[in-house]
Structure 1
Amino acid sequence: MPTAMENITTKGAFFQHLNQKNQYKQPARECMFRTMTKLQDMETSEHRPGMLLGKIQSGKTRTFIGVMGLAYDNGFDMVVLLTKGTNALVKQTYARLQEEFEPLIEHDAIRVYDIMTMPDNLRKYETSQKLALIVKKETNNLDRLREAFQEKYPQWKDKRVLFIDDEADFASVAYEYKREQNVKHMRVIASKINHFREVLHRSAFLQVTATPYSLYLQPEDMTIHEGKVFEPIRPAFTELVPVHDRYIGGNVYFDKSEIEGHLASYFFHEVEEKELEVMKKMDGRRVKMDRLLNQKNIANIRKAIVNFIVGACIRRYQQRAKGRREQKYSFIIHTERGKSAHAWQAELIQGFERLLTEAARNETDDFCELIKESYHDLIRSVRTLKKTPAPKFDEVYKEVRYSLDEEYMVSSIVNSEKDVNELLDYKGELQLRAPMNIFIGGQILDRGVTIHNLIGFFYGRNPKSFQQDTVLQHSRMYGARPVADLAVTRFYTTAKIYQVMKRIHEFDRELRRAFERGGHHRGVVFIQRDSGDSILPCSPNKILLSSLTMLKPHKRMLPVGFQTGYKTHIHKTVREIDCIVEQVQRKAVESKEGAVLIPLSVAKQLLKLVHQTLEMEEGYDFQLDEYEGVLNYLSSQSDEGAYVWLFIRHKRQIRRFKKDGKYENSPDTPGKGTGELTLARKVAQTFPALIMLRQEGKKEHGWRGSPFWWPVLVAQAEMSPTVYANKSVQ
């Protein structure tokens, strides 16, 4: 048995109850044992807490409750559980602990309290039991916790207390920048938590998070301001929560979605920016409430609603066909924070429901066409699952009509504590009132409240205001998801937001790998480009997440989502590229696998000329300064000079769109193991590679009838994972 068990009790009543109830698998148990052992053996403090690092919706709560059980069995008297700042989550957490420890509570072995409703006159009999205090990370909650320890029950200072800071990135490690004062302020909540930690005599600290960026996005040094001192928090240890085999995360939504024909390749539906504008406020000039079923400028929200209805009907039909209980499903609309926008969106959804119900009863042509279009969209992904029955159109059509006639759909606005609490069930989870539930809201929807059976997400928050941890928490479709539900799942947002979220997923993935390689003290480099065109190391808290690029060995970068300029406009520039290419091939002093080694300056010149010939579509970009900055950095990593391997290919006939209607994004992989990308990665060891593909650009392939060059940049093998910030926070 691992040494992690040698110094702790694993057969105590608390953990044995939890283990029997939850049937923990071996990797999960070992993670709990290691965490408890380190909390026992290592000195954790307010500045050096332990960290339990999991993925979003991957079982972190389940794991830290297991650690709580071990703590009670190993000499800890109390657990103070710090939660995110919503009453809904406090209620959900309280219900969860009551359920997990139910028989032990009945036998007076433990008491669970919400700090705000805890009695003021606890007796010795009660305080002699193990205690679990749930404390919202909010100033009144923290004041009441301080009052309990310092005034009402001062003897608690001598108790052995384990702090578990759930979603530690949210408030515990938090700075804000005051431009007018030119100082960093520790936010009030973080300050109160930090101050309270100093009161206790025997305590241990465990942070639980899926987004550990607070470790990176802190000042490196102690901050002193207005007499207050705060040192950066650096974990004493990090334990990774095992990911179960049913987990669906960013690797599916953003990595596997690139595989044509894969189930995940059907998830993303692009929404135009102007449609998000329609969603902001009521405008009778833009939206005619009696024409919602055929008006063009709301095509995607209409498609989203119909797909949700049809998707839920498909799943319920499949469940009924297998003799299983029919499930209820949910859909989120999260585009704005303002309540007026939510009210307008609710009116819009109710308008859709009213017209769809009327059209279903009359079986209009518009209705039939909408259901048919949705069916053909969803059935493509349903058919990728060989063991799941794919219902016929007539069966689904009948199901949809019945669902609308029987009012199976309900929409709810969720934008305040009152609204959330009214919608919660007895477990503190958002209850699904009907078979099809649409939730319209803002930030409160992403703060940990459980939303079951989510198969649709219409997202439109401004990427300029994105924060790393917030964006990933918005990804409510992460978690344990039945694969049959995934087949009818769709994600609606703009191309711009999708690309930002994809970049953030890559950032998350590489930071996590840095932990796995040996911790958070090494493994990832942060750099930025300065005004003088130099590449400099930068402070992580200076990066602007919407402009970052995650670089790693053999990562490729290429423009996607573009049309060429007209032939008369770009012909001269294309010929100039042709001439440079011919010249460097003739004068090459070193070649390998068909590639020639060229100076960095020539590679940048080629990219600059290519940039002049391409016209990017809305939501897609080809930022020349970003590509030049990345090339500068990559080519500077070798001691042999600033060079780039250049691969040239002519007479390529890549189509503009793939079979599924998405923009082509793999012009460098015409055959498995034989494409230019394979060769480039073989050659790019100490220097990066630039693949230049001369396309024919035929009109029948979706182009404008002019040849053009398509560049692909490939990072070399010998480099450290790097976060390149093309723009920084000022």
Structure 2
Amino acid sequence: MKTLETVQTQGRFFQHLQYKNEYTEESKECIILTAAQLMDKKTSENRPGMLLGKIQSGKTRTFIGVMGLAYDNGFDAVIILTQGTNALVKQTYARLEEEFAEQIAEDKLRVYDIMSMPERLRKYELSQKLAFIVKKETHNLDRLREALVDQYPSLSNKKILFIDDEADFASVAYEYKREQNITKMRVIASKINELRSRLQESAFLQVTATPYSLYLQPEDMTIHEGKVFEPIRPSFTELVPVHDQYIGGDMYFEKSQIDGHLASYLYHEVDEKELQVMKKMDGRRVKMDKLLTQKNIANIRRAIVNFIVGSCIRRWQQRQLGTKQQKYSFIIHTERGKNAHAWQGELIRSFEDLLMEGANEETDVFQTLVQQSYQDLIRSVKTLNKAPAPSYLQVYQEVKLALEEEYIVSSIVNSEKDVNEMLDYSGQLHLRAPMNIFIGGQILDRGVTIHNLIGFFYGRNPKSFQQDTVLQHSRMYGARLLEDLAVTRFYTTQRIYSIMERIHEFDAGLRHAFERGGHECGVVFIQKDLNSTILPCSPNKILLSSLTMLKPHKRLLPVGFQTGYKTHIQKTVRYIDRLIENEVKNALYHEEGAYLIPVEKAKEMITFVHKTFEMEEGREFNQDEYHSVLDYLSTEAKSGAYVWLITRTRREIQRFKKDGTFENSPDTPGKGKGELAIARRQAKDHPALIMLRQEGKKEHGWRGAEFWWPVVVAQSETTPTVFAKKNDKISKTAAK
């Protein structure tokens, strides 16, 4: 059995990489363990080794380290399966040429793009270590098979390692054909499988940040112990260590909830109507000579000015510190269509022209825009002590100079031709000027590296969201200096932000399970069917926009609402008062101010609370979801379907927090005495429902009507669960 001690780590390939990359002990251990298990365990495309990292967290650097160890330990060739774009092939090729430059110069290694190999390789070339870069595309795989089996049959007798980069993107093993009612292997996976059957000895490693299609795919569509699907699991999983400069979803969706934290300034909400403006040219909606003042494009205007001002702040700081002034980038990704991109390109260029004109003339409108942007960005800049904070006048002069000297370049990137023309020598998007705006669609999210990204305007708004795709769209993740993060802003609608927040929670929950080894036990996926019965369901039938991740002590509460008018809801509120009073009086059991009541009564409270709320755009309070979650959590307990009820009255919470965002913490921890602390202590076998009676005063942003605010708290003994809200399309599929 191969172990850390028995793997040859002193070979020329790995030693050179280690010297070049200065691997940390944690990274080195991950690389060696991965290589050891590839050599020790039987792997295939159905039972692959798995290298699991976060988006833009150093996965490529890690698998190249595994390549080096593989070459030093008897592997003759490595086949890297890349996502299906020429840009990615070029980027991967450039990266391998750079990392293995010494071995290539000494004729120890040859790197080939499978589609542009020399006509006839000589024995001398075939005797070296080989690396083939292959797009996950049928013609590329046909060419690979031809090379390995027909043209150079000696290669089929060599020891070969397959590395499937971004494995979730095109290589999931099975797909469901509804019209045939069968599950069959995908074309790409089938071709890889057929090719590997022709090889004498091979290993298979998949590298991804979004592994759910691999871990959660059901095998034979069977249910384990009544509710957990048996997934197709990798043979082993190694987690890529996260480096200290990594910025991920926890920054955008967790730390952002902390008042005054740098992260709390990152997100800017975009009105849904503004995305419609971005779709196509409409002279009735957009007056090109009024772009700097028009209200219905306020957020895209703010995003552009923030990007310019943010870049100027950073470049000023770098100059003050005597360091190299960097170039910065901003992405607009709202549509897939080229017509939309052309319109957005015209819009951005018109913004540039008007801003340049305003800078030259120093108009009041221009000065106001720069001042508003400065006030927005300087709040987060001042949360750090790492770099000096410039004054408004200093920034104003920087912005004026940037516009007058044409520091800004906007480019449309919506085809492989565009990307290839814009790549630098290393296969990364070339930053032509100090400030670069990229307008495009899916081509921008397929692994192409974009340096120094400090602005992301995102509006891809499909009816359903796929987890893997949405996470790959998250270009704001990756290695980021905190000083750059301080001037970074993320623009999207509340609906999209909420969905991305759920996806992050799902991602974090599953990664935590992997870290603890919990993925060996499966993850519970549940859903209500057409008969309102909660049943297990297949992960591949879940829409990510309908997910709720349940875990011990998870809170579930409506956020972002206004109450109905007092005359409309007063009667309903009085009914809830009587209902709660009655349940407290007749509780099955009570302890520490918590009352055990039937789940049906808790659901009734939710039903009537729902009648008193008006949700803001992009926010939702789905009573069916709350009912189903309470049903599931309460029936998890062996002692019956009950819920702990905890109530508080005469609360006077503000509708908005100091930073202008909606209040999301009506429940107080209270150092052990608050209702949330009590709920978490009592919620062991049964969930808790906290009901908070608010005064709803007008001076606090409400309508002067009293109301109840519910908070559901999952019990500590619950199994990590993904609950999918009822969806007609899904339910019909499940019913079949």
User: Under a length normalisation based on structure 2, what TM-score does the superposition of the two structures give?
Assistant: 0.96
Letter in structure 2 aligned against 1:147: E
Letter in structure 2 aligned against 1:466: F
Residue matched to 2:158: 159
Letter in structure 2 aligned against 1:534: T
Once residues 304 and 132 of structure 1 are traced to their aligned partners in structure 2, the CA distance between those partners, rounded to angstroms, is 43
Please give the per-residue CA displacement for 1:361-386, whole angstroms capped at 9, x wherever unaligned: 11111111111111111111111002
Which runs of structure 2 are paired with 1:192-231 in the superposition (5 Å)? 192-221=191-220
Q: Is the 8 A contact 1:49 1:233 kept in 2?
A: no
Once residues 672 and 292 of structure 2 are traced to their aligned partners in structure 1, the CA distance between those partners, rounded to angstroms, is 47
Residue matched to 1:603: 602
**For 1:221, what is the secondary structure of its paired residue?**
strand
Q: Is the 8 A contact 1:603 1:690 kept in 2?
A: yes
Q: Is the 8 A contact 2:2 2:36 kept in 1?
A: no
Please give the per-residue CA displacement for 1:555-595, whole angstroms capped at 9, x wherever unaligned: 00000000000001000000000111111222234112211
Please give the per-residue CA displacement for 1:368-413, whole angstroms capped at 9, x wherever unaligned: 1111111111111111002321111010011101000100011000
CA apart distance, 1:622: 0.2
Which runs of structure 2 are paired with 1:691-706 in the superposition (5 Å)? 691-706=690-705
Please give the per-residue CA displacement for 1:51-105, whole angstroms capped at 9, x wherever unaligned: 1111111111011000000000000000001111000010000000000000111
Residue matched to 2:613: 614
Once residues 671 and 380 of structure 1 are traced to their aligned partners in structure 2, the CA distance between those partners, rounded to angstroms, is 29
Please give the per-residue CA displacement for 1:629-675, whole angstroms capped at 9, x wherever unaligned: 00000000111111001111000000110000000001112745543
CA apart distance, 1:47: 2.3
CA apart distance, 1:182: 3.6
Once residues 409 and 673 of structure 2 are traced to their aligned partners in structure 1, the CA distance between those partners, rounded to angstroms, is 52
**For 2:189, what is the secondary structure of its paired residue?**
helix
CA apart distance, 1:191: 2.2
Cα RMSD over matched residues? 1.6
Letter in structure 1 aligned against 2:167: A
Residue matched to 2:226: none
Q: Is the 8 A contact 2:377 2:486 kept in 1?
A: yes
Residues 491 and 673 (structure 1 numbering): CA distance in 2 closer, same or farther, change over 3 Å? farther
Residue matched to 1:591: 590
Letter in structure 2 aligned against 1:385: L
Once residues 186 and 416 of structure 2 are traced to their aligned partners in structure 1, the CA distance between those partners, rounded to angstroms, is 22
Letter in structure 2 aligned against 1:612: K
Please give the per-residue CA displacement for 1:404-447, whole angstroms capped at 9, x wherever unaligned: 01000110000000000011000000010011100000001000
Residue matched to 1:653: 652
CA apart distance, 1:178: 4.0
Which runs of structure 2 are paired with 1:550-589 in the superposition (5 Å)? 550-589=549-588
Q: Is the 8 A contact 1:553 1:715 kept in 2?
A: yes
CA apart distance, 1:39: 1.1
CA apart distance, 1:217: 4.7
Q: Is the 8 A contact 1:173 1:233 kept in 2?
A: no
**For 2:516, what is the secondary structure of its paired residue?**
helix
Q: Is the 8 A contact 1:647 1:690 kept in 2?
A: yes
**For 1:465, what is the secondary structure of its paired residue?**
coil
Residue matched to 1:309: 308
Q: Is the 8 A contact 1:523 1:721 kept in 2?
A: no
Residue matched to 1:403: 402
Once residues 176 and 300 of structure 2 are traced to their aligned partners in structure 1, the CA distance between those partners, rounded to angstroms, is 37
2:5 is the counterpart of 1:12: no
Residue matched to 2:362: 363
Q: Is the 8 A contact 1:694 1:707 kept in 2?
A: yes
Residues 713 and 471 (structure 1 numbering): CA distance in 2 closer, same or farther, change over 3 Å? same
CA apart distance, 1:521: 2.8
**For 1:192, what is the secondary structure of its paired residue?**
helix
Which runs of structure 2 are paired with 1:664-675 in the superposition (5 Å)? 664-669=663-668, 671=670, 673-675=672-674
Letter in structure 2 aligned against 1:439: F
Q: Is the 8 A contact 1:463 1:500 kept in 2?
A: no
Residue matched to 1:515: 514
CA apart distance, 1:176: 4.2
Bigger Cα displacement from structure 2, 207-216 vs 449-458: 207-216
CA apart distance, 1:189: 2.1
CA apart distance, 1:21: 0.6
CA apart distance, 1:184: 3.8
**For 2:372, what is the secondary structure of its paired residue?**
helix
Once residues 671 and 336 of structure 2 are traced to their aligned partners in structure 1, the CA distance between those partners, rounded to angstroms, is 46
Residue matched to 1:443: 442
Once residues 198 and 462 of structure 1 are traced to their aligned partners in structure 2, the CA distance between those partners, rounded to angstroms, is 42
Identity %: 72
Letter in structure 2 aligned against 1:676: E
Q: How many residues align?
A: 722
Bigger Cα displacement from structure 2, 527-536 vs 543-552: 527-536
CA apart distance, 1:254: 0.6
Residues 566 and 634 (structure 1 numbering): CA distance in 2 closer, same or farther, change over 3 Å? same
Once residues 511 and 582 of structure 2 are traced to their aligned partners in structure 1, the CA distance between those partners, rounded to angstroms, is 44
**For 2:449, what is the secondary structure of its paired residue?**
coil
2:52 is the counterpart of 1:48: no
Bigger Cα displacement from structure 2, 190-199 vs 347-356: 190-199
CA apart distance, 1:199: 1.4
**For 1:116, what is the secondary structure of its paired residue?**
helix
User: Under a length normalisation based on structure 1, what TM-score does the superposition of the two structures give?
Assistant: 0.97
Q: Is the 8 A contact 2:159 2:201 kept in 1?
A: yes
Q: Is the 8 A contact 2:30 2:240 kept in 1?
A: yes
Please give the per-residue CA displacement for 1:329-353, whole angstroms capped at 9, x wherever unaligned: 0000000000000000000000100
Residue matched to 1:418: 417
Bigger Cα displacement from structure 2, 512-521 vs 568-577: 512-521
Please give the per-residue CA displacement for 1:512-571, whole angstroms capped at 9, x wherever unaligned: 112112153314211111122221111111111100100000000000000000001000
2:30 is the counterpart of 1:31: yes
Q: Is the 8 A contact 1:333 1:438 kept in 2?
A: yes
Letter in structure 2 aligned against 1:584: E
2:160 is the counterpart of 1:138: no
Once residues 197 and 38 of structure 2 are traced to their aligned partners in structure 1, the CA distance between those partners, rounded to angstroms, is 18
Which runs of structure 2 are paired with 1:375-524 in the superposition (5 Å)? 375-518=374-517, 520-524=519-523
Residues 639 and 192 (structure 1 numbering): CA distance in 2 closer, same or farther, change over 3 Å? same
Residues 285 and 175 (structure 1 numbering): CA distance in 2 closer, same or farther, change over 3 Å? farther
Once residues 561 and 493 of structure 2 are traced to their aligned partners in structure 1, the CA distance between those partners, rounded to angstroms, is 15
Once residues 184 and 202 of structure 1 are traced to their aligned partners in structure 2, the CA distance between those partners, rounded to angstroms, is 28
Letter in structure 1 aligned against 2:715: Q
Which runs of structure 2 are paired with 1:66-77 in the superposition (5 Å)? 66-77=65-76
CA apart distance, 1:155: 1.1
Please give the per-residue CA displacement for 1:4-61, whole angstroms capped at 9, x wherever unaligned: 3222101001000000111111011111111111111111123221111111111110
Q: Is the 8 A contact 1:463 1:497 kept in 2?
A: no
Once residues 565 and 406 of structure 1 are traced to their aligned partners in structure 2, the CA distance between those partners, rounded to angstroms, is 54
Bigger Cα displacement from structure 2, 63-72 vs 535-544: 535-544
Residue matched to 1:713: 712
Residue matched to 1:247: 246
Once residues 588 and 213 of structure 1 are traced to their aligned partners in structure 2, the CA distance between those partners, rounded to angstroms, is 42
Letter in structure 1 aligned against 2:634: S
**For 2:115, what is the secondary structure of its paired residue?**
coil
Residue matched to 1:226: none
CA apart distance, 1:465: 3.1
Residues 533 and 222 (structure 1 numbering): CA distance in 2 closer, same or farther, change over 3 Å? closer
Letter in structure 2 aligned against 1:112: V
Once residues 219 and 2 of structure 2 are traced to their aligned partners in structure 1, the CA distance between those partners, rounded to angstroms, is 34
Once residues 183 and 683 of structure 2 are traced to their aligned partners in structure 1, the CA distance between those partners, rounded to angstroms, is 42
Q: Is the 8 A contact 2:523 2:721 kept in 1?
A: yes
Letter in structure 2 aligned against 1:444: I
Once residues 59 and 711 of structure 1 are traced to their aligned partners in structure 2, the CA distance between those partners, rounded to angstroms, is 42
Letter in structure 1 aligned against 2:370: I
Q: Is the 8 A contact 1:14 1:69 kept in 2?
A: yes
Bigger Cα displacement from structure 2, 41-50 vs 450-459: 41-50
**For 2:463, what is the secondary structure of its paired residue?**
helix
Letter in structure 2 aligned against 1:517: R
CA apart distance, 1:677: 1.4
Please give the per-residue CA displacement for 1:281-327, whole angstroms capped at 9, x wherever unaligned: 00000000000000000000001001100110111111001011100
**For 1:371, what is the secondary structure of its paired residue?**
helix
Which runs of structure 2 are paired with 1:208-357 in the superposition (5 Å)? 208-221=207-220, 233-357=232-356
